[in-house]
Amino acid sequence: MTNQLNAKHVVVAGLGLSGQACLRFLMGQPVTLSAWDTRAEQTLPEGIDIPLTNGEPPKNYWDNVDLLVVSPGLALDHPQLQRASQQNVEIIGEIELFARFNQASVLGITGSNGKTTVTLLTTHILKACGINAVAAGNVGLPALDAMSLNPEAIVLELSSFQLETTHSLALVGATILNISDDHLDRHKTLAAYSDAKQRIYNHAQSALCWRDQQLTYPLPLMVDVIEFGQQAELHDFGLKNHWITWQGEPLVNLAEVKLVGLHNVLNIQAALGLAMLLGVDVRQAVAAVYTFEAVAHRCVPVSDKGGITWIDDSKATNVGATIAALQGLGAERRGKLVLIAGGDAKGAAVKALQPYFEQYVDELITLGRDGKQIGRLKQGSVHTESMQAAVIQAHQFARPGDIVLLSPACASLDMFKNYEHRAHAFIEAIASGDVC
């Protein structure tokens, strides 16, 4: 096949993980290659010697450029991207570049919440069933780096930002796990955000869809759809008597699963369905489900200090993720549920949390930029100025047998380096003597 990049002038914009993977891949292609990064201090990876422009590029920068491979962190309405587009420069992302060269079977996973769990669990199942599979995309390993490993299958976690610049990704199976308000600071509307997610189905052979949310179904509806959900169903995946069912028959005993919460029931169902699309026998896959460990910072118990179950859900960076955690843990709790929430809501409508606070949350503690706004949704909430203070307050509320849940419903950058840093602050505060 003729190399579609032959003799093209390609610019890679943004030198994060995906941008560096693009550079490594393109260094082996017959192109004229250069790079641009908005950050003045950004440097090229070691061993790559090409022209690099930092900050604002000169006015004639896009002259004679054929292809711009853009980082998902750069919004398409960025003035420089608009200028490039006006000069007929083709704009794609790393995933689209991957799509044009990949030969492996690919599964694609997107949604507001649960993407990482489903991506890693699907990969775990495939490996346990003898398929050489690699997890990649938004989960850590760039897709182009995964392709270089020559696996049989690649399981891609895909964000809405990545999908915006993806046009021809061929998938054996794809899923939108769920849709809730997220990244509205960039997408502006829920409809635009949902439209970006829908791009995952453009060239997919089959879809996994959550029967409780129509937005997770491909539009227009594809013929080959597998459904999952918490209802007891005689077709596809369901839930009955604490067992995940397949076509009405018991399949996975939830008492033997290490993932907690009803929201993880949906994640398990989706992962099983995706594995089936690559030829895995669903009953053979069950043993792998039982050995899968929870993803860090996603509804993970981190302490039982004082007889209280302390749960780290710091990866819940949007409203939908916290709702999922409250539904998953709150419905079956025996003691009180104390929630710590707050941070940067990224323009999301936090009022959607209110009915779930009323149903599941006994005590609410807030912190961060939008913490007071969240606190107004529940009478008697307490606002704190630090994670240490929030944990001390939680310990005053909680008694043995209760749950303290850190599920912020917000991004972390107003107070922390990232959600991992926020989680570590939570765990360190629990371990300190102040909560004894």
The CATH number assigned to the domain with range 9-93 reads: 3.40.50.720
What pLDDT sits at residue 434? 60
Give the whole-angstrom CA distance, residue 365 versus residue 384.
Answer: 7
Strand partners, 311: 301, 405
Instruction: Report the candidate in 300, 388, 345 with the shortest Cα–Cα distance to residue 183.
Output: 345
User: Which CATH superfamily, name and number, covers 300-435?
Assistant: Mur ligase, C-terminal domain (3.90.190.20)
- How confident is the model over 81-115, as pLDDT tens digits? 999 999 999 999 999 999 999 999 999 999 988 89
What pLDDT sits at residue 185? 59
What pLDDT sits at residue 436? 47
Catalytic residue among 115, 197, 297, 383: 115
What pLDDT sits at residue 431? 94
Q: Work out the pLDDT band at 3, boundaries 50, 70, 90.
A: confident
Confidence check: pLDDT of 425 > 60: yes
Burial of 273 (0-12, 13-18, 19+ CB in 10 A): buried
In b/e form, how buried is each residue of 227-253, taking b as 16+ CB within 10 angstroms? bbbbeebeebbbbeeebbbbeeeebbe
Query: Among this protein's residues, is 138 annotated catalytic?
Result: yes
**Domain residue spans of the chain:** 9-93, 102-291, 300-435
Catalytic residue among 102, 113, 138, 264: 138
CATH topology of domain 102-291: UDP-N-acetylmuramoyl-L-alanine:D-glutamate ligase (3.40.1190)
Query: Among this protein's residues, is 115 annotated catalytic?
Result: yes
What pLDDT sits at residue 1? 41
What pLDDT sits at residue 349? 86
Instruction: Report the candidate in 211, 255, 212 with the shortest Cα–Cα distance to residue 236.
Output: 211
Catalytic residue among 124, 183, 197, 395: 183
Give the whole-angstrom CA distance, residue 82 versus residue 62.
Answer: 11
Of the chain, the percentage scoring pLDDT greater than 90 comes to: 82
Dmax (CA) for the chain in angstroms is: 68
Instruction: At 213, list the tokens.
Output: 């949310």
**What count of other Cβ atoms lies within 10 Å of the Cβ of residue 108?**
28
Q: Work out the pLDDT band at 346, boundaries 50, 70, 90.
A: confident
Q: Work out the pLDDT band at 221, boundaries 50, 70, 90.
A: confident
What pLDDT sits at residue 181? 60
Of the chain, the percentage scoring pLDDT greater than 70 comes to: 96
Burial of 105 (0-12, 13-18, 19+ CB in 10 A): buried
- How confident is the model over 163-196, as pLDDT tens digits? 999 999 999 999 999 998 655 556 568 788 889 9
Give the whole-angstrom CA distance, residue 207 versus residue 200.
Answer: 10
Q: Would the pTM of this model clear 0.75, i.e. be above it?
A: yes
Q: What is the mean pLDDT of the chain?
A: 93
- Least confident stretch, 208-217, 321-330, 393-402: 321-330
Burial of 28 (0-12, 13-18, 19+ CB in 10 A): exposed
Query: Among this protein's residues, is 187 annotated catalytic?
Result: no
Cβ atoms of residues 95 and 166 within 8 Å: yes
What pLDDT sits at residue 263? 84
Q: Which residue has the higher pLDDT, 301 or 126?
A: 126
Confidence check: pLDDT of 291 > 80: yes
